[in-house]
Structure 1
Amino acid sequence: MYSLTLLTILSYLAATVLLFVGVRQSPIPPLRWRLPALSLATLAMLGNAALIYQNAYLEHLMSLNMSVFNALSAIFWISSLITLISSFKSPVENILLVLLPMTAVSVALAQFAPDHSIVMHARNPALDVHILFSLVAYALITLGALQGAMLSWQHRALHSRHPGGLVRLLPPMESVEQLMFRFIGVGFILLTLALATGFLFLDNIFAQHLVHKTVLSVVAWLIFAALLTGRHLAGWRGKTAVHWVLSGYGALVLAYFGSKIALEWIFNINS
């Protein structure tokens, strides 16, 4: 397993280096850099998928271990996969430049960092559906938040009248903003489904140790609902939209990872 882990991490990092060299030449990297970079990223994601399966699926117990680092690795893997697929139709190499090394770090944490608890969920179709909706929703909203951070960076560079450096490697602000709303819109739909399946299928969703996670998830849902409504009715965009995106994402991170860290690492309670 350690050799697969090392190969996966090195493939992610090598793909990042190749993309960086290509993006420095052009916002859409030349094929001689883009093709080997995306090939290495694909190889890394295949290895990552095998590692996630080995870590999260406890076949002998017919259970899922969705501890903090396993969940983090799964979310970044899904984010990278979505971005890689999107790269065949849209210039999203700038996202991969940030996402691939972060995914490599998540692989290292899942494999080498001490796991504070084994969080087991008995396998059943309803729970599997809820977990799938949750992970994909978090992944898409993570991508939207990354676009929001890039858009905020571009705004600051523009207003400081120094739009050079790495900022010039990013796509036009309008393209970044459109992609941000696309990710947030689809992520919001899946977050809605995740909350709905949670309310329908989980008997203890308002139990004392889960109430903070549930309430913060609903708060995040309300923030994204307000953002998309404001976008549709009032044409929200730019810095206003970015503030809503990052606020919603912050609530979502606190809901999921803040709660999991507190419960698993401090109170040693399965979440």
Structure 2
Amino acid sequence: MHITLFVLAALLYMTCAALPSKQRFGISVGTAAGWLLHGGALWADMVVPGSLRIGFAFVLSATLWISVAAYWLENRNFSLDGLRVLVLPTAAVAVVLPALFPGSLIPLQDKSSLFPWHVVIAILAYSSLTLAAFHAVLMALQESRLHASPADARDRWLARAIDRLPALLTMEKLLFRMIAFGFVLLTLTVLSGIVFSEQLFGTPIKWDHKTIFTILSWGLFGLLLAGRVGRGWRGKTALRFTLTGFATLLLAYVGSRFVLEVVLHRGLA
């Protein structure tokens, strides 16, 4: 385990989360440095010759690693300082989890060449929809600020960060762009899991809690996008669907693996 790299990445993330927003260059450089350390440690620990280390901690850490990259790129086009104070502290916690919960090694010699791609696409889908969930939380806070008096949170740092966000309509467009991208990736994850189940996992498709929660989450996000196009869904309806879909997706793998690995002390099936 590259514990030193994980800890350094966590410290950089927390420092960048705490810096005042006027230190834009320092935040950008520090976040990029933390992201590189985070990614290097993940790669070194997950990719073992002939095997792949998987577990709830590694999936969650990889998800936040990609979410940090997406935040960093989006922040160059829009002022998303409020997203920084949500994503970076969460990433700081996620980055050290693999050191505490090492997961299990999965041999690749008896797996299809599609298996690593299935894992990568699934993590990308998780990441996109995780960032969308953070974005939805920010929008909910932003909407509540519109109905609050200016004196209610005048000196609160989060309120000031929220006040610097783009207009709510712009935030909504960004939200649906993230959800659409994540939905495409989640669709590929579901299809690859169903169509190539025997090649990927060596067994036919299992209709267990992981499969059911994943498909349920896919249905919720699909319904949201259809409602957006067909009925113009937006506002609180969009936020509720986003957070419910994300919570369901979280239960599909990370939640179930946490129970199995940490509570029941079982390895990966």
CA distance in 1, matches of 2:59, 2:142: 31
> Do the aligned residues in 2 keep the contact of 1:205 with 1:214 (CA within 8 Å)?
no
**1:150 deviation in Å?**
1.3
Are 2:43 and 1:53 aligned?
yes
Helix, strand or coil: the match of 1:91?
coil
Which letter does structure 2 place at the counterpart of 1:11? L
Match of 2:205 in 1: 206
Unpaired segments of 5 or more residues in structure 2?
Answer: none
Helix, strand or coil: the match of 2:104?
coil
Q: Structure 1 residues 174, 50: CA separation in 2 closer, same or farther (over 3 Å shift)?
A: same
Match of 1:249 in 2: 246
Match of 1:25 in 2: none
Match of 2:188 in 1: 193
What TM-score results when the alignment is normalised by the length of structure 2? 0.87
Are 2:214 and 1:222 aligned?
no
Decide which of 93, 97, 104 is 1:118's aligned counterpart: 104
Q: Structure 1 residues 221, 48: CA separation in 2 closer, same or farther (over 3 Å shift)?
A: same
What's the C-alpha RMSD, in Å, of the aligned pairs? 2.0
Match of 1:26 in 2: none
Unpaired segments of 5 or more residues in structure 1?
Answer: 23-28
Which letter does structure 2 place at the counterpart of 1:12? Y
**1:251 deviation in Å?**
0.8
The aligned runs of 1:63-212 (5 Å cut-off) are 63-111=51-99, 113-115=100-102, 117-122=103-108, 124-161=112-149, 164=153, 165=156, 166-170=158-162, 171=165, 172-203=167-198, 204=203, 206-207=205-206, 211-212=208-209
CA distance in 1, matches of 2:149, 2:64: 34
What TM-score results when the alignment is normalised by the length of structure 1? 0.86
Which letter does structure 2 place at the counterpart of 1:240? T
> Do the aligned residues in 2 keep the contact of 1:198 with 1:205 (CA within 8 Å)?
no
Helix, strand or coil: the match of 2:52?
strand
> Do the aligned residues in 2 keep the contact of 1:9 with 1:104 (CA within 8 Å)?
yes
Helix, strand or coil: the match of 1:64?
strand
Decide which of 30, 34, 46 is 1:44's aligned counterpart: 34
**1:121 deviation in Å?**
4.8
Q: Structure 1 residues 121, 262: CA separation in 2 closer, same or farther (over 3 Å shift)?
A: farther
**1:160 deviation in Å?**
4.8
Q: Structure 1 residues 104, 205: CA separation in 2 closer, same or farther (over 3 Å shift)?
A: farther
CA distance in 1, matches of 2:129, 2:96: 23
> Do the aligned residues in 2 keep the contact of 1:137 with 1:187 (CA within 8 Å)?
yes
Which letter does structure 1 place at the counterpart of 2:104? I
